[in-house]
Chains A and B, each alone.
Chain A
Amino acid sequence: DIQMTQSPSSLSASVGDRVTITCRASQSISSYLNWYQQKPGKAPKLLIYAASSLQSGVPSRFSGSGSGTDFTLTISSLQPEDFATYYCQQSYSTPDTFGQGTRLEIK
């Protein structure tokens, strides 16, 4: 199975900050990498697919980059509604695997 490792596991930031979350795959997954946002008690929501494509309806302050084994999710200017947990997920091979999550908290 492909292991997905996110860093950091948690992050404190302020409204207006620029934030970057990293996801590393245990082997090359090309650009088959998706990012999700999850708020407490809710289902995950797709933000980015194919490493860098913004899902319809997602604000442009979210962006993704990377290919191969190293990927990043960047939020250019944090808004109050962005405080949540973020997960990466690879679709390169079955089983689909998720990173352990990055919890983004208000400083």
Chain B
Amino acid sequence: EVQLVESGGGLIQPGGSLRLSCAASGFTVSSNYMSWVRQAPGKGLEWVSVIYSGGSTYYADSVKGRFTISRDNSKNTLYLQMNSLRAEDTAVYYCAALYYYDSSDPRANDFDYWGQGTLVTVSS
């Protein structure tokens, strides 16, 4: 059974840093495309970042230059390092695993597995 468990959220002051973790079981993080998706209180879903199996990374414009996605293959864990945090970064952060329903088509994917989410609150 695939399981994703996030941790590392909490209350942090504006300008501060936080590192989120997503521990995976039942599949291999390094062999899959993994994303972070966030949801501000009472709002919709916002894609934040992705790391591909080959190591390429991409970010939403709203976090580019401040957030870094990475993984530790030995721990089978995904990370999101968040620096220069702002009030508008307040959200529940989910890690999600992309599944390719057509392995020959790079666009043919969906978010098949999600963690339970971890709340990040940026406030003084």
Q: Of residues 53 to 89 in A, which have CB atoms within 8 Å of B's CB atoms?
A: 53, 87, 89
Write the chain B residue with the least CB distance to A47: B110
Q: Cβ of B44 and Cβ of A96 under 8 Å apart?
A: no
Measured CB to CB, the closest approach of chain A to B50, in angstroms, equals 7
Contact A43 to B94, CB < 8 A, known contacts A53-B101, A91-B110: yes
Interface core residue of B60, B107, B110, B112 (most chain A CB under 10 Å): B110
Residues of A contacting B116 in the complex (Cβ-Cβ under 8 angstroms)? 42-43
Contact A99 to B115, CB < 8 A, known contacts A53-B101, A91-B109: no
B27 at the interface (CB under 8 A from A): no
Measured CB to CB, the closest approach of chain B to A6, in angstroms, equals 9
Contact A98 to B60, CB < 8 A, known contacts A32-B108, A49-B110: no
Residues of A contacting B107 in the complex (Cβ-Cβ under 8 angstroms)? 30, 32, 91-93
Q: Is the interface of B mostly helix, strand, loop or mixed?
A: strand
Q: Cβ of A98 and Cβ of B44 under 8 Å apart?
A: yes
Q: Cβ of A46 and Cβ of B111 under 8 Å apart?
A: yes
Contact A46 to B115, CB < 8 A, known contacts A94-B50, A96-B47, A101-B44: no
Measured CB to CB, the closest approach of chain B to A71, in angstroms, equals 14
A100 at the interface (CB under 8 A from B): yes
Residues of B contacting A95 in the complex (Cβ-Cβ under 8 angstroms)? 47, 58, 60
Write the chain A residue with the least CB distance to B116: A43
Q: Which A residues contact B (CB, under 8 angstroms)?
A: 30, 32, 34, 36, 38, 42-46, 49-50, 53, 87, 89, 91-101
